[in-house]
Homo-oligomer: A and B are copies of this chain.
Amino acid sequence: MTGKLTGVGIGPGTPDLLTVRAVRAIRAAKTVFVPKGKNGKPGVALTTAGEYIPETAQVIEMDFPMVSISGEADRLDEQWHANADIVREALQNGDGVFLTLGDPMVYSTYSYIIDFLKSQGVSTETIPGITSFCALASRLEIPLTQGEESLAIVSMTQPDDVIRDIVKMNRNVIVMKASGRNEFLAQLLEELGLEEQFCRVSNIGMANETVSSDIEELKGRIPYFSTILIKKEYEFGN
């Protein structure tokens, strides 16, 4: 009988922040799919979940480039179909898992491919994961949002003016994918008088974790896995 594919949120990058359900799914898997990404991403997924992967499981690295944001849609579409073939074939051996850092439904590659895989006859299930921003808040013991407040989650891949509006209008803001655009973010914080109202956590829970509320550091090079909390009515220490 063909197995199903379970998208597993493995959390921010620490083995003990996987859920019990995630661990069970990985332990039962015949195949473990890991997105082949840039900047060492698959390495982190495998390191994080590695201790739960059965010795007998096959690990397959896959490249699911974003069809939607590329000019070469035809070629990419072909690759997506080829990948779906690989997934379907591997599932002949039993259930498979697709590891995804953080939560599968928050800025993940998996969220792009799930509908496509379903359309290709793959049956799926999804297990939520600890987001980097929840890990950050517990790490710093700073509430993300309370009582009558709201929270905005913004990606630095969005247009400058949209980012500016969101940061302006919200008391609590989480900034994702900041590396590469961190200089613009630093400028924006200065422009809005918020240079002391933020904290950056990089490589959270890992050996090379760094925490900083220093605006000058934010202007420099920051690690790929960086999440930033902007909190306008909070006193951050440096």
Please give the residue numbers on chain A whose beta carbons come within 8 Å of chain B beta carbons, in ascending order: 7, 9, 11, 14-21, 23-24, 66, 68-69, 103-108, 111-112, 114, 124, 126-131, 134-135, 137-139, 141-155, 157-159, 162, 165-166, 169-170
Residues of chain B within 8 A (CB-CB) of A18 are: 19-20
Expressed in whole angstroms, the Cα–Cα distance for A108 and B68 within the complex equals: 38
What are 18 sample pairs from A and B whose C-beta atoms fall under 8 A apart? A7-B138, A9-B134, A16-B20, A18-B20, A19-B20, A104-B137, A105-B134, A105-B141, A106-B144, A108-B143, A128-B130, A128-B131, A128-B134, A145-B153, A145-B155, A147-B155, A148-B157, A148-B159
Expressed in whole angstroms, the Cα–Cα distance for A66 and B23 within the complex equals: 37
Asked whether, in the complex, the Cβ of B112 is within 8 Å of the Cβ of A138, the reply is: no
Residues of chain B within 8 A (CB-CB) of A106 are: 134, 137, 143-145, 151
Residues of chain B within 8 A (CB-CB) of A166 are: 150
Residue of B nearest to A7 (CB): B138
Residues of chain B within 8 A (CB-CB) of A15 are: 20
CB distance from A120 to the nearest CB of B (A): 15
Residues of chain B within 8 A (CB-CB) of A127 are: 138
User: Which of B23, B105, B141, B165 is in CB contact (< 8 Å) with A126?
Assistant: B141
Asked whether, in the complex, the Cβ of B146 is within 8 Å of the Cβ of A107, the reply is: yes
Expressed in whole angstroms, the Cα–Cα distance for A23 and B145 within the complex equals: 25
Asked whether, in the complex, the Cβ of A157 is within 8 Å of the Cβ of B147, the reply is: yes
Expressed in whole angstroms, the Cα–Cα distance for A186 and B106 within the complex equals: 26
Residues of chain B within 8 A (CB-CB) of A148 are: 155, 157-159
Expressed in whole angstroms, the Cα–Cα distance for A199 and B185 within the complex equals: 33
Residues of chain B within 8 A (CB-CB) of A153 are: 145, 150-153
Expressed in whole angstroms, the Cα–Cα distance for A43 and B50 within the complex equals: 36
Residue of B nearest to A174 (CB): B151
Residues of chain B within 8 A (CB-CB) of A9 are: 134, 138
User: Which of B112, B137, B152, B154 is in CB contact (< 8 Å) with A128?
Assistant: B137
Residues of chain B within 8 A (CB-CB) of A24 are: 16
Asked whether, in the complex, the Cβ of B131 is within 8 Å of the Cβ of A134, the reply is: yes
Asked whether, in the complex, the Cβ of A19 is within 8 Å of the Cβ of B17, the reply is: yes
For the A-B complex with A131-B134, A149-B158, A150-B162 known, give 16 more contacts whose Cβ atoms are closer than 8 Å: A9-B134, A9-B138, A16-B24, A17-B21, A18-B19, A19-B19, A103-B134, A103-B144, A107-B146, A107-B147, A112-B143, A128-B135, A129-B130, A145-B155, A147-B155, A150-B158
